[in-house]
Structure 1
């Protein structure tokens, strides 16, 4: 059975070349997911996180129009260390108010260390949500 999911803008910041957009994905009145987009100059990143399953569905970071997409915790191609560092810095700040950013930060940190491969389905350690955002 297909259930319609709507989007509700939660945060929109546009200031000095920085754009941050956080959207709640809702099924009825319940928040079931979160999408976050950030753009600063020629850098863009976006992530979508399922709050019910606690899984990061999508992570993409772009620099000069060249993008790297993470599937199941692994990038589709090797990202440059500078690109990952820039994304980590931005997502670290965004993780203060975004579960999608927190999950993206975990995946990016795993890409840096490579000491322990991580699947996006392993992100269950994040806060359990029984309340509305």
Structure 2
């Protein structure tokens, strides 16, 4: 956070701690409500409004990224490695796709449209995850 001129406040550290632990367990994206639940489980006194403000600040400086799952729900994850997202339309699972796997597609989209993409440009792909595909095939 100091690299981004942010103070290391207790709420910021608590939110980051939840995201780091979730990421280590393979949960790369959490809603603000789920982050808040985990803080409550840890007996951390951080209200939901502060969680929203904190993730917004961290998204703004690029430490965390936001993924709009639908019109009403966003999830948040660490922005350590550039990546894109594949979202299952049946179960809601989110799979991270390494950026280099889609770099050619982004380059072609930029060249074909003349649109200059941000270095934070990302793709969100929608479809069926492997588990739901297997269930659909049955």
TM-score by length of 1: 0.31
Point out the structure with the larger helix share.
Answer: 2
TM-score by length of 2: 0.30
Point out the structure with the larger strand share.
Answer: 1
Flag the structure with larger Rg: 2
